[in-house]
Amino acid sequence: MALWSGRFTENVSEFTQRFGASLPVDKALYAQDIAGSKAHARMLGARGVISPDDVDLIVSGLDRIQARIESGEFVFDINDEDIHMSVEKALIADIGEAGARLHTGRSRNDQVVTDTRLFAKTRCTDLMAANVALRQALVDAAKRHFDVILPGYTHMQHAQPVFLPHHLLAYAWMFARDFKRLAAARDAADVCPLGSAALAGTTYPLDRSMTASELGFGGITANSLDAVSDRDFLLDLSYAASVSCVHLSRLSEELVLWSTSEFGFITLSDAFSTGSSIMPQKKNPDFAELIRGKTGRVVGDLVALLVTLKSLPLAYNKDLQEDKEGMIDAARTLEDCYSCMTGMISTMTVNEDAMSTQVNKGYLAATDVADYLAKKGLPFRRAHEVVGHLVLLCDERSCDLEDLSLEDFKAESDLFEEDIIEALDARSIADARITEGGTGREAIRKQLVLVEDSLAADCSSL
């Protein structure tokens, strides 16, 4: 019979025991559960609720259980229902009556959410560290390829020339925002619910602040009903993971495109590619594709939790047992995706010539030619029309703007002079973007300082 079976005359069926058990999932939280129990026991001892001898027996017994779990000697029994019952049953078997006093002033309701908050905090910190590593890889790649130029796109059409470091740093800033979301999720988890008991608090003279401090929490929850039923902090973590996976998916899509024969902008390392079982020539960007695919899985974890929570009355409901599996999966998946993307960015080969060749296609100088006229006094809308006519002329001749003669330019506007030829150079065009945040190399140098300052600040908060 279960530890809670006092008012029952028979046990649950084998099927319902298996159906209702959370042990296969929440045993991953064994270290948090044991830490919470040790802190609770020490607090009970400090408040005189249990004896110092009982505290010593409980703490040493829990240490032995943790050692057995980590050595692989501990046998988890599905009949124990969850990690809390599993550990407590083993403790009572080890130390006897003292172990049965551990649960004084505590419910599984506040116990489970304490474990979950501790686990979420740890996983957020792990993810923040992986996030920083990826951003550093992007910064390093930006520095290595500082002078490489490529087409910038809108609507997947050639738009204006940009420098590759500018493109890479765009993703670094996306992931910097993701770091803040992960940090906010960690902060949201950083309050201790122990002492809330089942839903209404307890009559024992608990020192909740002592327990919170020992477990490294920044504070305690303010309302016992809210404390045992709140899973907003998991929504925060799942949302942060989902957004970051979307960013990873966008970057993966570009790596997939850039590694095609049509683009040829990059070559992925063999370590991050696979072959074909039938086509000997294939080198597939499988891991970029897999990151892209796993995004749906992580977003699904978020949606599942939202739907689980959407109509729950106060306080605890068994539905909340479904809160951990998605969170654990989302965190593990995001961490793996971060690591995989870091490896791909760090080891990919940039094919500078292929990027440079594409910069000379698609009339990337068109906007700058219009700006040339506008700076000479022609209203920009009129300048836009003039350059549109020049592009149409290029279409008819199957050439690019730099192939036109000065006479061709003057036929559209007398404002064109010999220096128009200089306005067609892709590097000059990109470097002319001198505004803060622009693609000009001087602006990129300033942006790199900001990115590295952001990295340093975030590293210090880990």
Contacts for 300-306 with beta carbons within 8 Å, 24 or more apart?
A: 300/326, 301/238, 301/241, 301/242, 301/326, 301/327, 301/329, 301/330, 302/235, 302/238, 302/239, 302/241, 302/242, 302/326, 302/330, 305/231, 305/234, 305/235, 305/238, 306/235
Selecting among 60, 269, 276, 339, the annotated active-site residue is 276
Q: Which two tokens stand for residue 72?
A: 């692989």
Active-site annotation holds for 71: no
Q: Is 368 exposed, middle or buried (0-12, 13-18, 19+ CB in 10 A)?
A: buried
Ramachandran angles phi, psi of 350, nearest 5°: -95, 125
The type of residue at 40 is: H
C-alpha distances out from residue 81 to 67, 94, 327, 329, Å: 21, 19, 20, 21
Distance CA 429, CA 90 (A): 71
C-alpha distances out from residue 452 to 149, 328, 449, Å: 22, 31, 5
Query: Strand, coil or helix: what is 9?
Result: coil
- The length of the chain, given as a count of residues: 462
Tell which residue, 382, 381, 350, 240, has the closest CA to residue 305.
240
Cα 174 versus chain centre, distance:
10
Distance CA 234, CA 240 (A): 10
Distance CA 258, CA 246 (A): 18
Q: What is the DSSP string of 361-414?
A: SS-TTHHHHHHHHHHTT--HHHHHHHHHHHHHHHHHHT--GGGS-HHHHHHH-T
Distance CA 31, CA 27 (A): 9
Secondary structure tally for the chain: helices H, strands E: 19, 4
Distance CA 289, CA 50 (A): 57
Count CB-CB contacts under 10 A for residue 209. Answer: 14
Q: Which two tokens stand for residue 50?
A: 């249990």
Distance CA 173, CA 461 (A): 17
Active-site annotation holds for 273: no
Q: What is the DSSP string of 302-347?
A: HHHHHHHHTTPPSS--GGGGGHHHHHHHHHHHHHHHHHHHHHHHHH
Residue numbers annotated as active site: 155, 276
